[in-house]
Amino acid sequence: MSDNDEKKTLGVRTGPRAGNVKQSFSHGRTKNVVVETKRKRVVVPKPGAAPGAAGKPQANVNPGKRPAGISDAEMERRLKALQAAKAREAEDAAKREAQELEREAERNRRRAEAEAKEAEEKERAEKARAKAEEERKVAEAAAAAQQAAVAAAAPVEDAAQPRSAPTKQAPRKQEVTKDRDQRGRGKGQHDGRRSGKLTLNQALSGGEGGRQKSMAAMKRKQERARQKAMGGVQEREKVIRDVQLPETIVVSELANRMAERVADVIKTLMNNDMMVTQNQTIDADTAELIIEEFGHKVVRVSDADVEDVIAGVDDKDEDLVPRPPVITIMGHVDHGKTSLLDAIRDAKVVSGEAGGITQHIGAYQVTTDSGTVLSFLDTPGHAAFTSMRARGAQVTDIVVLVVAADDAVMPQTIEAINHAKAAQVPMIVAINKIDKPDADPNKVRTDLLQHEVIVEAMSGEVQDVEVSAITGQGLDELLEAIALQSEILELKANPDRAAEGAVIEAQLDVGRGPVATVLVQKGTLKQGDIFVVGEQFGRVRALINDRGDRIKEAGPSVPVEVLGLNGTPEAGDVLNVVDTEAQAREIAEYREKAAKDKRAAAGAGTSLEQLMAQAKTNENMTEMPILVKTDVQGSAEAIVQAMEKIGNDEVRVRVLHSGVGAITESDIGLAEASGAPVFGFNVRANAPARNSANQKGVEIRYYSVIYDLVDDVKAAASGLLGAEIRENFIGYAKIKEVFKVTGVGKVAGCLVTEGVARRSAGVRLLRDDVVIHEGTLKTLKRFKDEVPEVQSGQECGMAFENYDDIRPDDVIEIFEREEVERKLD
């Protein structure tokens, strides 16, 4: 126990800085807590240190008092830096103090202005109140005078009433005053004071259970109160707005554009006998009347105004720079157009084409030995590809007309000449296959004269060059002629503007999506540009040149493949670069809607008479429905045009659907519903489509040459034609005598004068060379025997089936009917 007494008890040190704190808790519980305040540590300088040592740099510092490794110069530098830092701190403090004084002065000035303004408003309010009080006193004096006049005119018996009457009316007067005060604080005179208890909901929501007022609403309320105190509300000046009015507009949108209340607009429409809601659409004429009634100005706009962003820009002469010419190779099929271009490009395109004929329009760029850059378009020569040749002629600068020296001018040659004349582009005649033994270039030149194409050899203006794609003869002369023609044309374009181009071809690639071959005509198309092309839009994801290399930009006259479209455009559409994706989407949606309305209008607007006439026309018409899927848009267009030419008055081919890309399951579903075969041109059906076609019994046919497809469809359509019935006259017989036979009827005794009479043949009865009956024979007998036929010069007996009006000297015509299968031309 003695050891414990000697030890000190552990605890908080007592002293002047210790104290007890009593904590109170709920339910009457308390707790005492001991609190100690820690003393602040005071740093006392060492006895050897001088009082001013910290402020002044010491040149001779004791080495024992500084950190190890610090020289005198270093120590002096550090002390100088410390002193400079302290000087900067003092300067900053002075600046802050000056700024604070300026701010305080500004605050005082604003406060004084606010007080002066408030005093002015108070004085104005006092004046207005005094004026209102004076007016009230005048009104009360007038009312008192009126009451006195009424009292003076009252009968004498009213004056003899007991004196207690005024004391009875005193409470009523107080009630009237109280009611007047309550009416004064009515709906229009609400002073904003809360009535009743303050509930939790009101306290949290900041109002009487509703949403809290905004600062703008509070300011408007104060402004109204101030204007009322000054003696009346000033009418706000109405803002006249220019309201853009489309062809149709929703009522709520019209009110929004006029900055008017929707209720006011609906009220005005109802006054004009139009019962509408805010979500209903009204036409432009009605909206114009409403806008004018509200005092605004009407600005009529059309849906087509969205295309104003791609309006043509006139290029300045100083911005134009020379560009490569665009040359289109045209001519009849198998005259060597692609082979000639291959010889110029030193490539092998023909070997990659099915059947050795060109079925796609191709775009290439060639650099000659002299450094001249030429852009070539290779068009198909088959009759079905008329639209492709027309597109090639429209975007070109020079047309090279290829004519085979051993074949001369052919139908597609004439068509190419007409396309070139319609597009008003110069022409160069390339007489190909000059290396063949039977080549006759003079016959080609002579044949061209019939179509108003006069070559230089015939004293004309059209250049002609004899070439051979196999041997390479005349290729240099052809390139020189093209270069000379392009120099004469002085082709220029502005590369520093928004790009504009024409879609030469479009396809749906499995890995890359929609791809369009575009020939840039103006400006420079860059990667990342936002564009609209026909009913499609997109952003340039990649640009690929004719050799398959990726490039960053394409200038004028450069053909490129563009990736990044949202759908496959039509061949021949114009590509325009726009600023934003929203503009591109709006233009594409407008064009799509316009095209849909145009297609709907083509079917609408038909009268009942027209429908009846059409039904009567189609009554005997047989249709062959088909579905066509191709690899590129141009081929689909060419096949559809070829299908429209097949048929006559009895049968026709109807293309239910044509598209680009592989044959899908939805195509099979459409084919099954309409009983149509599916034709794939250079495309195949995917696995689900093949399985679906096998289950549903839909026929799928694949083609790679357009000749074969057209011939097969023509043969199938010919099968729908009814067989032609031909009559072959095989004999004549003259009736000598008519006999009546029991059980048979009248029997004609005849002499076969020509040909042969057959039992199975058809007969006609002629009387005075007029047909009076046509039917079949019931019996044909020679003597008493039934015979199948009777030869010329022999007699026989004939009886008609269900006909007895026969006379002597009538002539019987015997014929046979033959069914002949018909074919479409």
The two three-digit tokens of residue 749, written as one number: 């005794």
CB 493 within 8 A of CB 321: yes
The region that residue 697 occupies, defined by phi over 0 for left and psi between -120 and 50 for alpha, beta otherwise, is: left
Instruction: List beta partners, residue 630.
Output: 660, 681
Give the per-residue pLDDT at 84.
93
Rounded-to-integer distance, Cα 478 and Cα 484, Å: 10
Q: How far apart are the first and last CA of the chain?
A: 137
93 confidence band (pLDDT: 50, 70, 90): very high
Q: pTM of the prediction?
A: 0.52
Rounded-to-integer distance, Cα 385 and Cα 333, Å: 10
Q: Who's near 627: CB < 8 A, 6+ residues apart?
A: 655, 656, 657, 658, 667, 670, 671, 676, 677, 678, 679
Amino acid identity at 680: G
Q: Helices then strands (H, E): number in the chain?
A: 20, 35
Output the furthest CA–CA distance in the chain (Å, rounded): 178
| For residue 51, pLDDT beyond 60 | no
**Residues 554-569: tens digit of each pLDDT:** 888 888 889 999 888 8
DSSP 8-state assignment for residue 573: P
SS3 content of the chain, % helix, strand, coil (to 5): 40, 25, 35
The two three-digit tokens of residue 251, written as one number: 């009522």
Q: Which of helix, strand or coil describes residue 254? A: helix
Over residues 201-209, the mean pLDDT reads 58
* Closest to 701 in 3D by CA, of 717, 679, 682: 679
| For residue 362, pLDDT beyond 60 | yes
| For residue 86, pLDDT beyond 90 | yes
Tell which wins on pLDDT, 13 or 651. 651
Angle among Cα 56, 59, 64 to the nearest 5 degrees reads: 100
The length of the chain in residues reads 825
CB 789 within 8 A of CB 757: yes
What value does the CA radius of gyration of the chain take, rounded to a whole number of Å? 53
Amino acid identity at 682: N
Window from 390-394, 655-659, 710-714 with minimum mean pLDDT:
390-394
Window from 183-187, 301-305, 582-586 with minimum mean pLDDT:
183-187
- 426 burial type by CB count under 10 A (0-12 exposed, 13-18 middle, 19+ buried): middle
| For residue 390, pLDDT beyond 50 | yes
The runs of H, that is alpha helices, within 154-235 are 156-159, 164-184, 200-205, 215-229
In whole angstroms, how far apart are CA 290 and each of 248, 269, 358? 13, 7, 62
Window from 221-235, 638-652, 740-754 with minimum mean pLDDT:
221-235
Q: Who's near 657: CB < 8 A, 6+ residues apart?
A: 627, 628, 667, 670
**Residues 494-539: tens digit of each pLDDT:** 888 888 888 888 888 777 888 888 888 888 999 999 999 988 999 9
Rounded-to-integer distance, Cα 756 and Cα 729, Å: 9
* Closest to 399 in 3D by CA, of 490, 329, 346: 329
Tell which wins on pLDDT, 41 or 565. 565
Rounded-to-integer distance, Cα 521 and Cα 494, Å: 9
The two three-digit tokens of residue 162, written as one number: 């007991």
386 confidence band (pLDDT: 50, 70, 90): low
| Pairing of β 770-782 and β 762-767 | antiparallel
Alpha-carbon torsion 380, 385, 391, 394, what sign? positive
Question: Which contiguous run of DSSP H or E holds residue 594?
Answer: helix 581-603
Rounded-to-integer distance, Cα 136 and Cα 183, Å: 16
Give the per-residue pLDDT at 124.
87
Over residues 690-700, the mean pLDDT reads 89
Give the per-residue pLDDT at 81.
92
| Pairing of β 248-250 and β 281-283 | antiparallel
Q: Who's near 757: CB < 8 A, 6+ residues apart?
A: 730, 731, 733, 750, 780, 789, 790, 796, 798, 812, 814
Tell which wins on pLDDT, 97 or 163. 97
Give the per-residue pLDDT at 383.
45
Q: What mean pLDDT, rounded, does the chain reach? A: 79
Rounded-to-integer distance, Cα 503 and Cα 493, Å: 18
Tell which wins on pLDDT, 99 or 366. 99
Window from 76-85, 626-635, 722-731 with minimum mean pLDDT:
722-731
811 confidence band (pLDDT: 50, 70, 90): very high
Rounded-to-integer distance, Cα 345 and Cα 336, Å: 14
**Residues 153-171: tens digit of each pLDDT:** 655 444 444 444 444 444 4
| For residue 717, pLDDT beyond 90 | no
**Residues 486-500: tens digit of each pLDDT:** 888 888 888 888 888
The two three-digit tokens of residue 240, written as one number: 């006249």
Window from 33-47, 408-422, 629-643, 761-775 with minimum mean pLDDT:
33-47
Rounded-to-integer distance, Cα 565 and Cα 537, Å: 6
DSSP-assigned states of every residue in 295-358: TPEEEE--GGGGGGGG---PPPGGG-EE---EEEEEESTTSSHHHHHHHHHT---GGGSGGGS-
* Closest to 391 in 3D by CA, of 367, 410, 366, 363: 363
Rounded-to-integer distance, Cα 583 and Cα 585, Å: 5
Rounded-to-integer distance, Cα 569 and Cα 556, Å: 21
Q: In this prediction, what percent of the chain has a pLDDT beyond 90?
A: 10
**Residues 329-346: tens digit of each pLDDT:** 888 877 778 788 888 877
